[in-house]
Structure 1
């Protein structure tokens, strides 16, 4: 939480200048004395958090250029689990909202809402509640809910570096390619892969990718053209 007096601090993460401005305006309407910091990518946001973790709320656009799907949200939940993250998205499908909430989002705000509704949603989350669109109704649990919840729990056990390695595995990269990208030795990559398999309780990198892809809901991503 914020350590600068009683001033609430907000981290706005969006790659579109106009919407960063819209979020800035909504936050200011809800908290006139709030301190706002902006980031144009997940990487930039993580650097800001590394330098100063004194933020009360992060407003995250689901469609960011340097991540796929919910990877950005998972990175924040893993590295900064105490930081409430509200997803801001142009997509309004209830399935996407449910996915975001299952990964630990503190709320989901469609980009189509009015400024006053956006401000009210921000206040709701800051007061400790979860904010979702009025039309949203959580889907009834299905037979796979327990398995999904367990996999999400296991993903939360991965370190930030292991999450990066897992994301590269999903892209089909070989160990030597991952080592080059991360500037580490192949032995280190192999160790990360072994830990990923152990924590996810799977026996091969292919199985790890298949299991995680179930959480991504690939068909839904294709239907909406990706995030």
Structure 2
């Protein structure tokens, strides 16, 4: 019996999620969809549904910092393909999404049938990007390589640092001992080659850089 693919649709707009669901069913037939409306909902969704085979990800969900959700997903489940669906389809954004590990990019202004085609292609092991006209960025390549060294938990701690939180506040937010957070911060600074929390926060800021269409 053929298995039904399970797809996580992560977007904070209910109408967009409904439109994506309709497009997926039109393009793929029978599918199972799990929904997430915030960046913080991604982790429980993945833990509750290990059978998820692909994530359709909006970059601008509440709790996300630019490409942070994409980077977190790639660290948490590197084998799980992520297709970004975004209203920002500037060539530079598309190139950045590719460099930070996405398997595809769909503009929210694209025809509905593109969603089904893109997901089918990526589920088959391919990739789906519009023609890439922006140059590859060496700066992004280096940042992606640095962030890839972090464990998912260290990446969560890094997001807390970027929010200006103290170790005690990060510990409370993540349910960790304060000393554990301190150990993570030391490891994060070493892996990112940063001398201070401020430098680490600046690196995260680079994930938020947006290009105007």
TM-score, length-scaled by structure 1: 0.85
Query: Cα offset for 1:35?
Result: 1.7
Alignment of 1:1-227 (within 5 A): 5-133=2-130, 136-141=131-136, 145=138, 147-217=139-209, 220=210
State the distance in 2 between where 1:212 and 1:66 align: 13
Deviations 1:46-74 (A, max 9, x none): 21211221122111111101222111111
Matched residues in 1 for 2:168 and 2:7: separation? Answer: 39
Residues 54, 19 of structure 1: alpha-carbon distance in 2 compared, 3 angstrom cutoff: same
Structure 1 unaligned regions, length at least 5: none
User: Deviation of residue 5 (structure 1)?
Assistant: 4.9
Relative to structure 1, the CA distance from residue 216 to residue 63 in structure 2 (aligned partners, 3 Å threshold; closer, same or farther) is closer
Q: Provide structure 2 residue ranges, at least 5 long, that are not aligned to the other structure.
A: none
**In the aligned structure 2, how far is the partner of 1:30 from the partner of 1:164?**
35
Q: Which has the higher contact order (CA 8 A, sep 6+)?
A: 2
The separation in 2 between residues aligned to 1:113 and 1:141, in whole angstroms, is 24
Q: SS at the partner of 2:145?
A: helix
Aligned residues, how many? 213
Change (3 A) 1:183 1:38: closer
Tell me the CA shift for residue 100 of structure 1.
1.0
Q: TM-score, normalised by structure 2?
A: 0.90
